[in-house]
Each structure stands twice: as structure tokens, then as C-alpha cells.
Amino acid sequence: MLTGGPLDVLTGDYLAELTMLILGRDRLKDPDRGYAKTFLRQMEECLGEALARGVRVVANAGGLNPAGLADRIRELADRLGLEARVAHVEGDDLGPRHPDALTAHAYLGGFGIAAALRAGADVVVTGRVTDAALVTGPAAAHFGWGPGDHDRLAGAVVAGHILECGTQATGGNYAFFTEKPTSTLLHPGFPLAEIHEDGSCVITKHPGTGGVVDLGTVTAQLLYETSGARYAGPDVTARLDTVRLTPDGPDRVRVDGVRGEAPPPTLKAGLTRVGGHRNEVVFVLTGLDIDAKADLVRDQIEDALGRAKSRPESVRWELARTDHPDAPTEETASALLRLVVRDRDADLVGRAVTGAAIELALGSYPGFHVTAPPGKGTPYGVFEAVYVDATTVDHVAVLDDGGRRVRIPAPGDTRELADLQPPPLPEPLAYDKTDTRRAPLGLIAGARSGDKGGDANVGVWVRTDDAWRWLAHTLTVELFRELLPETADLAVRRHVLPNLRALNFVVEGILGDGVASQARFDPQAKALGEWLRARHVDLPESLL
């Protein structure tokens, strides 16, 4: 990014929900840690280049200890013989309010970053800020925006959301990847946003880099890990239903029309805890009688657990039928039966699985073996989102000039968050109901899915007006639940985004206590959308 073309600010998002738990455990071992060590290694390679080119660096790699990371960067600059002005943003740590949590951090906005940049910082590191704050802060500093510039800030939030996952905006993890040459996707370039004073932007990438930027790749990332049309943040609530995307040349997509509203009076805060311990064993079932083999070993393990002094709090079985009839290799003739147990007692989950599995090795189904020897239990984490009054959080920029502290006030103008009324749907697609083909939904629809705590979202979009007229009326919550039976008993909300020809489904509770709890096979719901695309529906031949 530094050497490939013009750049004013280089940003980086280091803090997934799972990362906070990892950094919390890191800090338990060493109170001086708690930041992303990889960022410091990257700065050793790149700080001199950034300073020479006048590129500011803004990252939330400070994690739980932004002051500590800022000190390490200053030490690094001294060692390299560089003069770097390093500032940090703090105030997100709510640990004293939640002493039972491993980590407790509010999601701050971008105005602390803006204050540091306006004061001349070359590098700004933060703790827990929203992903989009890494872009709203630099944009506000550059253009002189204030808290009341809602439309401009909302445009920057959308730009930040598109950039936050790097190459997911340039062809990475893209539903229609088979339409792109493999050579283009081998090494996608990172996206950049050319932001204008009115909050509009163009998403592009440096010339000569791999990947692709088009309406599809940008739409996919816009739908990632969102919920309703109101995308709330600490600086502004961006209206995703107002986003307009238009082509602007090769590998260029213009984003404009974004409207913003006053932010909510509360800040989201993420709490992580060690929820207990888990253990897992995967039994390999090969050849004939797969279901009967699964029943036998399941009954044997359950019998062993029943005879034990105590049973784990949670015992979960999943059979993945990866086997094929008359298979040419042993692996393709095999299915996988996964057993996962959880309990607060680490010794119990170790004994429960390890003892029972080892004792059955010579006395169970034919061909008995496992993918790996069962071992001790490992800790798992729990993520919880809470909301706190924004005026009670001390958002502070700590500058490089002797540690001067600039307090960032909470927005004075706020608005309680509420769902919008569903927009009118387009006229239904007229077609002969007998002229359809039973085929995968993904032949006409793209999807991208992800996690928000214990919930998951699945954004689904199409690329023509006719396909949108069909999708908007056909893919109801009821059909969604039918296609994805795991969601049948969960609350599912559908949000309509006509400008993007998209539907966004939010599935509550499918991920349990969040990614760190590893509640399901795909703990971050990354492939939930691809499962939906693979399900068969009656598609009008006119769309194929």
C-alpha cells in the first residue's frame, strides 16, 4: 500500500471480537502486553517508508494497551533513527465497571483519532474503536468535519465498512469468483477509498495490483456483518438504504447518496469472559452402515458418561456425511462424527472424552479410529454486547507533545435507534410458474455472511432488476428457514435494501455466546451464505 501509489492515510483493523479475548489472556501472562504484536513487527518494516512518503498510519492495534503500544513504537523509531510523532486514543476500557469480565471495552468513534491527527501525529494507535472510526477520524481531520456533519460522516462510515476487511472488497471471498480469471485472484490488492469533502467516495485499488473492484465486490462487503438499514455507530447512524453504487471506470466504484442521522445516546461495549472448558473428538466412520456405526459409538459414549460420577454440562454430537458410495479413496468413503463436551471443570471435560474414547478403541464399530488423539480440555470464551451511556465514557486523545490529553465530548445531538418501516417492494416478476428449473439459488444470487456476537447475518443480492423483482418476493423469512433448517427455531429478521438489490437476514443466537465459544461447525458463520446459495429452489428460466 505504501509503495504502490498515492496514499494519505494507511489504516488497519486488528480487533475482531475473538482477538479481544486472546489479548485478554495475553495480558494475564504479562500486564505490559495486550496489544497486537504483529503491528509492531510491521512498523519495523514500514515506519521509515511511511514517514518518508508523508503517509499517516492509523490502527486499532493498541487493543487493551494503546499507551503501551505507543511507547513501543517510540522506542522502535529511536532505534531506527527516525523522528515519529506517536499519539494514542484511550478511554474505551470499562474493566472497573465489569470486574467479572476478562475484557470490557466500549466501541469509540473517530474524533479522538481526528484530534491526534490535527495535532500533527504521524502514527495514531487506539484501543477498541469501531472499524469505521479508522476512516471517519482521518476524514474528519482532513476536511474539518464536526459531530453535526451527519451525511458526510455517514459516507465515511460506509467507506470504512467497505475497507475494514481488506481484500474482501477486491475479490476475496467473493460469491461469483468463478467469473474472474484465477490469475487475477491469486493475490488481490488491498482496497483504498478516495474520500471527498461531501462524504462521497470512490473505492479502488493501486494500479497493477491483483483482484477486482466492481459493483459486486463492493455490494458483498457492504452487506457483511450488518443488520438493519440503520447502521449505528458512536459518531453517526448511517442509512444503508440510501447508499448508491455506480461504476466509475476500471476497478473503480463510486459510493454516494449516503444519508446520516444523529448517533444513539449509548455506546456498544463488548465483554469477554472465559466461559469454561471444552473437549472434542472426531470419530471416522468408513464404508457401509454409517448411521448404525454412529448410533453404536454414540450409545457407548453416552453410557460411559451416564456411569461417571458427573456428566459435562453440554454434550453435543454432529454427523457430517462426507462419505460417497463406491468411493475410490478411503477418505472419500468416510464420514465424520464430532463429539463436543463443555463444562466449567477442565478436568471433567478431559476425563469425559479422553477416557471414554480410548477405552472404546478396540470395542466399538468396525474400522474405529479418530482424526487426532483426544486430549485435555481447552478454555473457551464468551462474548456479550452491552450498552452504556456515551456521556459516561472518557474518550481521550493522548498527544505526542508531552502526553497532553484532549477529552473528546460525547455527541450532543443523539437519536434513539429504531427499525425503519420496510420499503415498498418492486412489482413481482411475471413468469410462467411451470417454466422453472429446480436449481441452486446461487446461480443468480450472491451472498456474504458473518458474525455479530452470538448472531449471524446473511446478505443476499442479485445483479439485475428482474432478479430483484423475483428475490424480493420469493426469499421470505419462511423460505429462508426452510432452506437453512438450523435457523428454523431461531428468531430471523429480514431487512430490504432496494438500492443494492439486496436482502439482509439476521439470525439471532445461532452462534451461541459468540465465536470464542465455538458453538457450531462454522463458529463465525462465514459460510452460512454459501450454504444458502447451494440450496435448491424453483428458479424462473427467464433468469437463467
DSSP letter (8 states) at residue 264: P
Q: What is the mean pLDDT of residues 357-380?
A: 92
User: Is residue 415 situated within a structural domain?
Assistant: no
Tallying the residues shown for the chain, one arrives at: 544
Q: What is the pLDDT of residues 310-346, one digit of tens each?
A: 899 999 999 999 999 999 999 999 999 999 999 999 9
Identify which has the larger pLDDT, 36 or 517. Answer: 36
Three-class SS state of 410 = coil
Using CB atoms within 10 A of its CB, is residue 407 exposed (0-12), middle (13-18) or buried (19+)? exposed
Q: What is the mean pLDDT of residues 492-521?
A: 92
Q: Are residues 229 and 305 in the same domain?
A: no
Q: Are residues 243 and 295 in the same domain?
A: no
Q: How far is CA 311 from CA 238, 298, 339, 344, in A?
A: 48, 15, 14, 11
The residue range of the domain holding 218 is 149-261
Q: How far is CA 55 from CA 121, 204, 220, 386, 422, in A?
A: 11, 18, 29, 36, 43
Confidence of residue 207 (pLDDT cuts 50, 70, 90): very high
User: Is residue 120 situated within a structural domain?
Assistant: no
Q: What is the pLDDT of residues 466-490, one digit of tens each?
A: 999 999 999 999 999 999 999 999 9
User: Is residue 414 situated within a structural domain?
Assistant: no
All cell numbers assigned to 404: 497532553
The domain spanning residue 344 has which CATH number?
3.30.70
Please tell me the predicted confidence (pLDDT) of residue 518: 81
Q: Which of 228, 261, 294 is the last residue of a domain?
A: 261
Q: What is the mean pLDDT of residues 357-366?
A: 94
Q: Are residues 235 and 305 in the same domain?
A: no
Q: Are residues 529 and 466 in the same domain?
A: yes
Can you tell me the distance from the alpha carbon of 136 to that of 142, in angstroms, rounded to the nearest whole number?
A: 10
Q: What is the mean pLDDT of residues 75-98?
A: 98
DSSP letter (8 states) at residue 179: G
Count of C-beta atoms within a 10 Å radius of residue 500: 23
Q: Which of 261, 283, 302 is the last residue of a domain?
A: 261
User: Is residue 115 situated within a structural domain?
Assistant: no
Q: Are residues 287 and 374 in the same domain?
A: yes
User: Is residue 68 situated within a structural domain?
Assistant: no
pLDDT > 90: percent of the chain: 91
Q: Which of 354, 382, 410 is the last residue of a domain?
A: 382
Q: What is the mean pLDDT of residues 509-530?
A: 90
Can you tell me the distance from the alpha carbon of 483 to that of 479, in angstroms, rounded to the nearest whole number?
A: 6
Q: Are residues 275 and 377 in the same domain?
A: yes
pLDDT > 70: percent of the chain: 100
Please tell me the predicted confidence (pLDDT) of residue 490: 97
User: Is residue 52 situated within a structural domain?
Assistant: no
Q: Are residues 281 and 254 in the same domain?
A: no
Q: What is the pLDDT of residues 423-464, one digit of tens each?
A: 999 999 999 999 999 999 999 999 999 998 899 999 999 999
- DSSP string for residues in 471-508: HHHH--HHHHHHHSGGGTTS-EEEEEEGGGTEEEEEET
Is the pLDDT confidence value at 282 over 90?
A: yes
Q: Give the CA count within 13 Å in the CB-facing half-sphere of 19.
A: 17
Q: Are residues 298 and 253 in the same domain?
A: no
All cell numbers assigned to 440: 441452486
User: Is residue 210 situated within a structural domain?
Assistant: yes
Q: What is the pLDDT of residues 288-316, one digit of tens each?
A: 999 999 999 999 999 998 888 889 999 99
Count of C-beta atoms within a 10 Å radius of residue 189: 23
Q: Are residues 214 and 282 in the same domain?
A: no
Please tell me the predicted confidence (pLDDT) of residue 513: 86
Can you tell me the distance from the alpha carbon of 423 to that of 201, in angstroms, rounded to the nearest whole number?
A: 25
Q: Are residues 538 and 492 in the same domain?
A: yes
Summarize the chain as % helix, strand, coil (round to 5). Answer: 35, 25, 40
Can you tell me the distance from the alpha carbon of 385 to that of 382, in angstroms, rounded to the nearest whole number?
A: 10
Please tell me the predicted confidence (pLDDT) of residue 14: 95
Can you tell me the distance from the alpha carbon of 378 to that of 507, in angstroms, rounded to the nearest whole number?
A: 28
Structurally, the chain folds into a number of domains equal to: 3
Please tell me the predicted confidence (pLDDT) of residue 377: 86
Q: Are residues 194 and 220 in the same domain?
A: yes
Three-class SS state of 274 = strand
User: Is residue 59 situated within a structural domain?
Assistant: no
Q: Are residues 473 and 535 in the same domain?
A: yes
Three-class SS state of 471 = helix
Count of C-beta atoms within a 10 Å radius of residue 177: 14
